[in-house]
């Protein structure tokens, strides 16, 4: 299995986080490391921390430190208290990042993730672990009584949500033209300086998302050797550390090549085949871009053009265009996007069918004009 930069980053973050945890959580993480990714475990332990802090804040456990919460407190936790915790989670609100006066409630999927996290921990403590004479930490599992509310949506409904948040028709082309020719017009002198420095790199990033449909962590882990100009392909590391090869549009390859021509001079970066492709110049040294840095680049340009979008929305845009151009070739879409289930790829078929419906209506308008 290939080890990505993101994998190493979450291993380090997980290692720092478990220092705050009780011994039984440390043991849980150690036993799960071979079957769960560091990202999943980090998110789980972060959920445990929120749960433990709630237990202390509500006076259910009397201690001044999460590390000192005894396992017996979980054994004796009442069903009412468990339900109250998930009510607390589901009623939390957060600010919409680009709207100062707007808040949203946590969605059902996020609440379900909190439930899954704690169900995993309690199952480990009551079934999977052995601490004394072949017995687990305790036997009463209150979290097994907590139902997970299934989120039900049709493919059409999910596809409609995607359509509302991506570039449709030729807007992806218009967006790239805007970044290339119009974005700089409204910049201050200081902003212009950074834009001129990074424009080839940033444009190559935007073009690559829209010309290949790769994920943000797949992009940040690209090395120079992963670009095959003659084969018009790039090698990526998928979820689970699996290596894969995907096609890339010729125009995106050209944009990558334009970036590579200036990469060494601007960022003082080496050109060895194992060097990271996308880098920044920081404190006199080249450093690979993080996922967050790439997300911020995408946010900046998309917000200026139309609406704030994530790299994942650019991936959705590419997938929808691919579905339309290939008349909904599901195996091809699955291979290109690294999907393991066909129902995910079907989302983009439904999205492209919406485009076809609108096109049919426009064609019908021509007929109506003739009568």
Rounded Cα distance, 235 and 225, in Å: 8
Cα–Cα distance, 361 to 259 (Å, whole number) = 42
316 is annotated as an active-site residue: no
Residue 348 falls in the annotated catalytic set: yes
Model confidence over 182-195: pLDDT tens digits?
999 989 999 999 99
* Torsion, Cα of 222, 225, 228, 233 (10° steps): -30
Q: For residue 323, is pLDDT > 90?
A: no
CB neighbour list of residue 319: distance below 8 Å, 6 or more residues apart: 213, 333, 336, 337, 345, 347, 348
Q: In terms of DSSP H, where are the helices of the chain?
A: 5-17, 23-32, 38-57, 71-75, 79-90, 108-123, 155-165, 171-181, 189-212, 216-220, 250-267, 291-305, 311-325, 330-337, 342-369
Per the residue annotation, which of 239, 242, 261, 292 is the catalytic one?
A: 239
Q: Which of 85, 315, 316, 318 is catalytic?
A: 315
Half-sphere exposure of 68 (CA within 13 A, CB side): 6
Q: Pick the catalytic residue from 215, 238, 263, 313.
A: 215
pLDDT band for 298, please (50, 70, 90 cuts). very high
pLDDT at 328 over 90: no
Which helix (H) or strand (E) segment holds residue 95: the answer is strand 93-95
The full set of domain ranges for the chain reads: 5-152, 156-367
Rounded mean pLDDT of 248-258? Answer: 94
pLDDT tens digits, residue range 97-137? 555 566 677 888 889 999 999 999 999 999 999 988 889 99
123 within 8 A of 144, measured Cβ to Cβ = yes
Q: Please say if the pLDDT value at position 261 is more than 60.
A: yes
- Annotation marks residue 315 as catalytic: yes
CATH superfamily of this structure's domain 156-367: Intergrase catalytic core (1.10.443.10)
- Is residue 369 among the annotated active site residues? no
pLDDT digits (tens, 9 = 90+) for 11-34: 899 999 999 999 999 999 999 988
Bigger pLDDT: 333 vs 356: 333
């Amino acid at each position: 299995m290939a080890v990505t930069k993101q994998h190493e980053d979450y291993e380090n973050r997980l290692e720092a986080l478990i220092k705050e945890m009780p011994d039984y959580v440390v043991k849980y993480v150690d036993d799960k490391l071979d079957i769960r990714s560091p990202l999943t475990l980090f998110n789980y332990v972060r959920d445990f921390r929120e749960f433990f802090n709630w237990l202390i804040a509500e006076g259910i456990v009397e201690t001044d430190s999460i590390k000192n919460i005894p396992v017996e407190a979980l054994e004796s936790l009442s069903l009412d208290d468990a339900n109250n915790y998930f009510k607390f989670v589901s009623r939390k609100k957060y600010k919409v990042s680009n709207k100062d006066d707007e808040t949203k409630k946590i969605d059902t999927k996020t609440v379900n993730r909190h439930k899954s996290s704690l169900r995993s921990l309690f199952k480990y403590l009551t079934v999977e672990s052995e601490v004394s004479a072949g017995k687990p930490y305790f036997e009463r599992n209150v979290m097994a009584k907590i139902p997970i509310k299934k989120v039900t949506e049709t493919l059409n409904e999910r596809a409609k949500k995607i359509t509302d948040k991506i570039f449709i028709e030729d807007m992806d082309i218009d967006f790239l033209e805007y970044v290339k020719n119009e974005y700089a017009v409204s910049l201050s002198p200081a902003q212009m300086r950074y834009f001129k420095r990074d424009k080839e790199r940033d444009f190559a990033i935007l073009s690559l998302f829209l010309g290949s449909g790769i994920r943000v962590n797949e992009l940040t882990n690209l090395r120079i050797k992963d670009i095959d100009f003659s084969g018009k392909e790039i090698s990526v590391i998928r979820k689970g550390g699996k290596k894969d090869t995907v096609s890339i549009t010729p125009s995106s390859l050209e944009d990558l090549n334009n970036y590579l021509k200036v990469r060494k001079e601007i960022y003082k970066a080496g050109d060895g085949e194992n060097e990271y492709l996308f880098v920044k110049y920081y404190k006199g040294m080249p450093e690979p871009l993080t996922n967050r840095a790439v997300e911020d680049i995408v946010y900046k340009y998309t917000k200026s053009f139309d609406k704030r979008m994530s790299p994942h929305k650019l991936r959705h845009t590419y997938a929808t265009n691919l579905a339309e151009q290939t008349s909904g070739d599901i195996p091809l879409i699955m291979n290109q996007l690294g999907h393991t289930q066909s129902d995910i790829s079907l989302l983009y078929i439904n999205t492209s069918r919406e485009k076809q419906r609108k096109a049919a209506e426009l064609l019908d308008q021509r007929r109506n004009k003739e009568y």
